[in-house]
Chains A and B, each alone.
Chain A
Amino acid sequence: MSIDELETQLRPAFLAGLGGDAAAYRLFLETISLRLRGYLRSQLARVGRHEASEAEDVLQETLLALHLSRHTYEPASPVTAWAHAIARYKLIDHLRRSGRHAANLPIDEEAYQLAAPDTVASDARLDLSRAMQALPERTRTLIDRVKVQGCTIAEAAGAAGMTETAAKVAIHRGLHALARILTKRGPRAEP
């Protein structure tokens, strides 16, 4: 799929998501994550990193950043360019953190135009799971219900004795906290 076709498919979904349409937003996230996985894997391979779990970590960090930066999207601009700019930023940040000097990062600004989607998810290196440990108990339980047990937000909120809105806000804060922990962590210990 060319980048233009992808744009035509994704933009309406993302705009609907911005308006609060969760199903459209989910479709956007699922589709863009395939593309970003392909992009991140190919870029990491170019610098000699072939482990799929590393790409998955950067992908999760990128998705989290996309989610928390939705207000920075300019509605008249291509959503694929927005998403890839964030992915590129997170990739460079990741490489820098793992000991590469910024000056010799060969991450081309237009490289995303050629990336192919990659549907084979792999296990992440646990960065996000480790960060989860730092969240408050209540938020962690809520997140667990929604992500692992596949509860709807209404069910999870009911089980925790909260309103649906309060549950959404709590999860949103939890995601914010996760992003902050991931940004602040020091250089990664290389395996």
Chain B
Amino acid sequence: MKTDELISLMAASDRPVDTGWLGRTTWLAALLATVATVGLVLLTLGARHDLAATWASGPVLTKALFGASVATIALAAFQKSLRPGLKPRKGFALIAVPVVAVAIWAAVTLMNAPPEQWTALTFGRSWRACLIAIPLYALVPFAVLLALARQGAPVDQPFSGASAGIASAGLATIAYSVHCPEDAIPFIASWYPLAMAAMAGLGAWIFPRMVRW
């Protein structure tokens, strides 16, 4: 086929195109995936026994807000990364703001606590559970974002994958906060970002293999 024949073919079958679909769908899909993940956490692990009394308290809200802010920044970058010619890495550095803020808060907490409590504050009783549960629950939004990426045109697949992974872990953090019984800030500042980093790695590895176009 000659190139100008291809062009006539494409021009002839041209129909109006909606450029807003990808952005709208990303946010809507993330919202629905979060609701589904919360449902899954409640179904499998159950809510923390004191959720009714504590949901609006500092720690639960901190965890949810931390997850939501990380997820929002990562989703914005992810959505951009599906559109060729944009620079999604630019705004992505903002992700350091919530992570560093929680880290500073954790450092202050530790400095004000006696050294013999440091281990308990950081490791709690369930750091292993947290490290396993968040990436596992994150697979729900991750699968949704992976399917979405195949509808877009990611030219930097490791980056799309990493941002999708971090966003999924952020959304899973919101969901897991209804169960997670650990309220110490040093705990939150250690294991949650580690779970997000693990999902970033998974995404960066899997996207180049699964999203070719």
Contacts and interface: CB of A to CB of B under 8 A. Distances in A.
A63 B84 CA distance: 14
Contacts of B153: 65, 69, 72, 86, 89
B13 A175 contact: yes
A95 to B, nearest CB: 14
B211 to A, nearest CB: 11
Contacts of A143: 9
B85 A63 contact: no
B34 to A, nearest CB: 24
A126 B9 CA distance: 17
Interface stretch (B14-22, B54-62, B123-131, B166-174): B14-22
B126 to A, nearest CB: 41
Contacts of A69: 84, 152-153, 213
Contact of B5 (A75, A88, A147, A152): A147
A153 B13 contact: yes
Contacts of B86: 74, 77
B6 A128 contact: yes
Contacts of A101: none
Contacts of A167: 13
A46 interface: no
A33 B3 contact: yes
Interface in B1-37: 1-19, 21-22
B15 A172 contact: yes
A41 B16 CA distance: 32
For the side of the interface on A, what is the size category?
35 or more
Nearest to B3: A121
B179 interface: no
B12 A82 contact: no
Residue from A23, A59, A148 whose CB has the most chain B CB atoms within 10 Å: A148
Interface string A72-87: 1111011001111110
Contacts of A83: 85
Given A19-B16, A59-B3, A74-B19, A146 B155 contact: no
Interface of A: 17-23, 25-26, 29-30, 33, 37, 56, 59-60, 63-65, 67, 69-75, 77-78, 81-86, 88-89, 93, 121, 123-124, 128-129, 132, 143, 146-148, 150, 152-153, 167-168, 171-172, 175, 179, 183
Q: Which 9 A-B pairs have the closest CB atoms?
A: A85-B84, A81-B85, A82-B85, A26-B11, A171-B13, A147-B5, A20-B16, A69-B153, A85-B85
